Structure 1
Amino acid sequence: MAETTYREAVRAAIDDAMSADERVFLMGEDVGHYGGCYAVSMGLLEKFGEQRIIDTPLSESTFTGAGIGAALNGMRPIVEIMTVNFSLLALDQIMNNAATLLHMSGGQFNVPLVIRMATGGGKQLGAQHSHSLEGWFAHIPGLKILTPATVQDAYDMVGLALQDPDPVLIFENALLYNAKGELDLDAIPLEIGKAKVEKEGKDVTILTYGISVFKALEAAESLAKEGIDAEVIDLRSLRPLDDETIMASIAKTHKVVIVDEGWKSGSLSAEIMARINEQAFYELDAPMSRVCTAEVPLPYAKHLEDAALPQADKIVEAAIKTVGVS
């Protein structure tokens, strides 16, 4: 086990996968000579060459479609889309082709495609580079949606996605690339569809994913000073969701706060609330609360951007209100 950065963990996972399986290749904008927009693929071109580290034109629909075609023909492509906002330019390929071909072919054709992209705000990149749309993609049957928060998951989820016979989208929060953590290359990965209890507690459940996991843990420390013992759960996988872990936690704490960097209307948080309502309503001792991004295009100004995004103090406020209601 060694300390490394989130960025280096993703790079190591791609490197290891390409070394182990010649069918694996990486394609996307600036992934080769430039080393990736977020420097994730730095050095891989020199090691694997232009046949396997492929710089693409600035056309997300085109190179995502090429990835789908390669996957249908037995390859194991990793497609990097620079930012989640640009994934909308490839939405037709992702939704109408990658997600549907297995079903439209009567189970004859799997699409073992991995798509990685940066998500989230907080870097003052403006409204066209800062949104969190992973909840949108979690709406689509036929896809699996992963949101690694930790260095370990940043490494493990690349391998898990490549082993899956169906399309997997990995959303990497851009603010996490410099984050450091422990990486155990011998650890058994926690499978797709399983949440992880990052901190156990008895008074309120905080459900979240991605960078908000660390904001929730910070909030939990503040709540402890108020005598509130919060349980923090990293969802890890947004589709499929781990209903079992969610409902088990609520059966213990009887109160819940959901933290979602997406917008509140029609959000992943709304879906989770609906599932809790359907499966664990009588376990609740208080109305559910949620902390989401403000219903605006993400501002550029730092103070406005911070105000728009979920933050630890907002989570603390929501948890205190939720616990105090009962």
Structure 2
Amino acid sequence: MLDISPLVWGATIGVIIALLAVDLTLAAIRPHRVGFREATAWSVFYILVAIAFGVWFTVNYGGGFGTEYFAGYIVEKSLSVDNLFVFVIIIATFAVPEEHQHKVLTFGIILALIMRAIFIALGATLLALFSFMFLLFGILLIYTAIQLFRHRDEDPDIEQNIMVRATRRFLPVTDEYHGGKLITRVDGRRMVTPLVAVLIAIGSVDLLFALDSIPAVFGITAEPYIVFTANAFALLGLRALFFLVKGLLDRLVYLSTGLSIILAFIGVKLVLHWAHVDIDPRVPEVDTYVSLVVIVVILAVVTVASLVKTRSDPTARAHAGSLRATRDDDKH
């Protein structure tokens, strides 16, 4: 059992908030088109911060917990790339002007952190009270993996998102962005801008990703502190990563396939853990070191295979994957 003092918890949260504040303040003070060099520098910085924390954590709390952190971080980072993929689709769908994209990303990152914090607290409480939650989490991940694999060559239909449809139906929405405002007046009538629909779409996507990512990382570790830090450090720098990878995402043609395999693997790991604890201690469990190796190997194979595929077939394009068939597929 990991024993984290309130002081360490407070210091960790303080550092994360400070890093997030710096990132968001710089974006607000100097809104501009983020170039490849700047995006690369910030992305590398946040990855190094995550690694430095992992080294400190390993030295102070042991190699076992350190391995759980790094495995959790890699899982959450890979899921955050898929999260970014959907952000790209949303921004393209609503034709968000480049000067307003940082606002959308800022909102998405903050909301993602808040939702994950809520689900971490809820998930940790449920796992502590009911061991069968490991089984439920495992089944949820396996189901998600199957759906993602089935629809791996599709993109989410953002326009059919229930929250976006409700916004368009019940609120008067302008055709223009009106300088990035959320609410404006047109001919004396108060209306919301398309930015409201964009933020609602981002929020609903964040909710879906939180529902998937928290059970996934709990499949690596049951320690709330590790779950929180793995999520937080994976989400930090997401804005810079967006500008770095949005031109490269189309080349990761097998990303959704790889993520579905990882989610299925972690789901099976959770089911085996439940069976080991509640059914028979002779049921084998998957070691965290094995999990780390499997996840890294899958991501490496997926990346290399994607680059080989796009090099041999330049017309191949990646898809974010969907948890349900698109409306056009439903008709067939």
Q: TM-score scaled to structure 2, two decimals?
A: 0.29
Structure number with the higher strand fraction is: 1
Structure number with the higher helix fraction is: 2
**Structure (1 or 2) with the larger CA radius of gyration:** 2
Q: TM-score scaled to structure 1, two decimals?
A: 0.29
